[in-house]
């Protein structure tokens, strides 16, 4: 699919983090045409070396004074503060930025893209030179909703998430490990620092900060981003986002009120033909998607497809994906692939 005569100078900002390291893997696995890779992180990581395509590359500190000229594509995953400050600077120096943070997602001049759902939106990035990657929980949900939306329409969605600790970064993964080790060794639990409450042997119904309306920011991301990606301000979404003691993979219980009747069999059929979706749904054989089975995969897995008992007409389903790959790095690299395919970079 690539024009192999053309290679790109690609920057990864936040390269030492969970998503940054996944960027390197995904770029390599998908054989993205990288001529040169430039790695950035904070000053703490200056001089660290990371491997890309079998070769070591030194990490540079993202400097306020630096010039970013010569970069074609910048993949950002260093948090929203860094994106707010540096994405416009990379863009004005000539790069197209694909940003993983929430900083630009709701900006009307910035497209918010999931390639399986709204690939055409990638073309409208020109004003700011920035394309936003949605939140991981939104991405996997809309990939599963789109085929149902196209067949039966959607009025309302109710979703409860079961989000792994990797969504909160490398330090949160270590926090779950440390708390679990303490329990195994009969020691007191260390105080939580990166997840608001103890996460080992617990579930925590708070991801990101609380908003005025009692929902968390993570929950409101799912509400607002879904409408923007689906180009439908009338879809009502209500979410409860929960952190669970799982390392990788977000799971979601999704309940949908459709506009027209759609049977579970029909839903299974449209989902199994949809791009980026794998249906794993055979209750008689105890088959449904599990977070531990989807680690390292790029698709969105759907199972437990059944008639909803509260929404009429409606469907219920269980949606699982690797949050660091399809929820972050893979989706962003797919956006970069679209840019190449459309000749936009």
**Contact set with ligand 3JN (CB under 6 A):** 79-80, 101-102, 135-136, 163, 167-168, 207, 221, 323
Q: CB nearer to ligand NAP: give 22 or 262.
A: 22
**Which of ligand 3JN, ligand NAP, none is residue 270 near (CB under 5 to 8 Å by kind)?**
none
Q: How far is the CB of 321 from ligand 3JN (least distance, A)?
A: 11
Q: CB nearer to ligand NAP: give 41 or 271.
A: 41
Of 82, 104, 145, nearest in space to 300 by CA: 145
Closest residue (Cβ) to ligand NAP?
Answer: 17
Q: How far is the CB of 308 from ligand 3JN (least distance, A)?
A: 25
Which ranges of the chain would DSSP assign to H, the alpha helix? 18-29, 80-92, 136-152, 170-184, 217-230, 264-273, 291-294, 330-341
Give the distance, in angstroms, between the CA of residue 105 and the centroid of all CA atoms in the same chain. Answer: 12
Distances (CA, A) of 78 to 62, 92, 114: 10, 19, 20
**Which of ligand NAP, ligand 3JN, none is residue 16 near (CB under 5 to 8 Å by kind)?**
ligand NAP
User: CA 109 to CA 107: how far, in whole Å?
Assistant: 5
User: CA 56 to CA 249: how far, in whole Å?
Assistant: 29
Q: CB nearer to ligand 3JN: give 167 or 192.
A: 167
**Which of ligand 3JN, ligand NAP, none is residue 281 near (CB under 5 to 8 Å by kind)?**
none
Give me the residues that bind ligand NAP (CB under 6 A), please. 14-20, 41-42, 44-45, 62, 77-80, 82, 100-101, 133, 135-136, 167, 169-171, 327-328
- Bridge partners, residue 73, by sequence: 10, 96
Q: Which residues contact 226 (CB under 8 A, 6 or more apart)?
A: 138, 141, 142, 145, 157, 235, 237
Bridge-based pairing of strands 8-13 and 73-76 is parallel
Q: CB nearer to ligand 3JN: give 220 or 344.
A: 220
First to last CA, the chain: 15
**Which of ligand 3JN, ligand NAP, none is residue 140 near (CB under 5 to 8 Å by kind)?**
none
Q: Which residues contact 10 (CB under 8 A, 6 or more apart)?
A: 27, 32, 34, 36, 37, 38, 71, 72, 73, 74, 75, 336
User: CA 14 to CA 139: how far, in whole Å?
Assistant: 20
Residue numbers annotated as active site: 136, 250
Residue with token string 């200056």: 46
Q: How far is the CB of 225 from ligand NAP (least distance, A)?
A: 10
Q: How far is the CB of 100 from ligand 3JN (least distance, A)?
A: 6
User: CA 127 to CA 121: how far, in whole Å?
Assistant: 13
Q: How far is the CB of 139 from ligand 3JN (least distance, A)?
A: 10
Are the C-beta atoms of residues 210 and 287 closer than 8 Å to each other? no
95: left (phi over 0), alpha (psi -120 to 50) or beta: beta
**Which of ligand NAP, ligand 3JN, none is residue 226 near (CB under 5 to 8 Å by kind)?**
none
**Which of ligand 3JN, ligand NAP, none is residue 45 near (CB under 5 to 8 Å by kind)?**
ligand NAP
Q: How far is the CB of 115 from ligand NAP (least distance, A)?
A: 14
Q: How far is the CB of 299 from ligand NAP (least distance, A)?
A: 16
Q: CB nearer to ligand NAP: give 281 or 322.
A: 322
**Which of ligand 3JN, ligand NAP, none is residue 207 near (CB under 5 to 8 Å by kind)?**
ligand 3JN
Q: CB nearer to ligand NAP: give 80 or 238.
A: 80
Q: Which two tokens stand for residue 142?
A: 């809309």
């Amino acid at each position: 699919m690539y024009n192999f005569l053309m290679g790109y100078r690609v920057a990864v900002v936040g390269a030492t983090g969970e998503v940054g390291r996944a960027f390197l893997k995904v770029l390599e696995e998908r054989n993205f045409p990288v001529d040169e890779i430039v790695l950035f992180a904070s000053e703490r990581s200056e001089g660290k070396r990371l491997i890309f395509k079998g070769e070591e590359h030194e990490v540079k500190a993202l400097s306020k004074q630096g010039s970013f000229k010569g970069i074609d594509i910048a993949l950002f995953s260093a948090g929203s503060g860094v994106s707010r400050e540096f994405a416009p600077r990379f863009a004005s120096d000539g790069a197209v930025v694909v940003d993983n943070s929430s900083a630009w997602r709701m900006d009307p001049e910035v497209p918010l893209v999931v390639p399986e759902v709204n690939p055409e939106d990638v073309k409208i990035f020109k004003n700011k030179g920035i394309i936003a990657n949605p939140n991981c929980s939104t991405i996997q949900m809309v990939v599963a909703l789109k085929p149902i939306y196209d067949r039966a329409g959607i009025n309302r969605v109710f979703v409860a998430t079961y989000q792994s600790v990797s969504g909160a970064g490398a330090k949160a993964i270590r926090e779950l490990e440390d708390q679990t080790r303490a329990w195994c060794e009969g020691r007191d639990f260390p105080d939580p620092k990166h997840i608001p409450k103890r996460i080992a042997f617990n579930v925590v119904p708070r991801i990101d900060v609380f908003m005025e309306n009692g929902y968390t920011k993570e929950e409101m991301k799912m509400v607002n981003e879904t409408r923007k990606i689906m180009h439908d301000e009338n879809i009502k979404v209500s979410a409860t986002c929960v952190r669970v003691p799982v390392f990788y993979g977000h799971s979601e219980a999704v309940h949908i009120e459709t506009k027209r009747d759609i049977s579970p069999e029909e839903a299974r059929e449209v989902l199994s033909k949809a791009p980026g979706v794998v249906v794993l749904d055979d209750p008689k054989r105890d088959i449904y998607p599990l977070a531990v089975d989807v680690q390292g995969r790029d698709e969105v897995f759907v199972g437990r497809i059944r008639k909803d008992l509260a929404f009429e007409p409606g469907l219920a389903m269980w949606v699982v994906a690797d949050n660091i790959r399809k929820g972050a790095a893979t989706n962003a690299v797919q956006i970069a692939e679209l840019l190449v395919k459309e000749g936009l970079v």
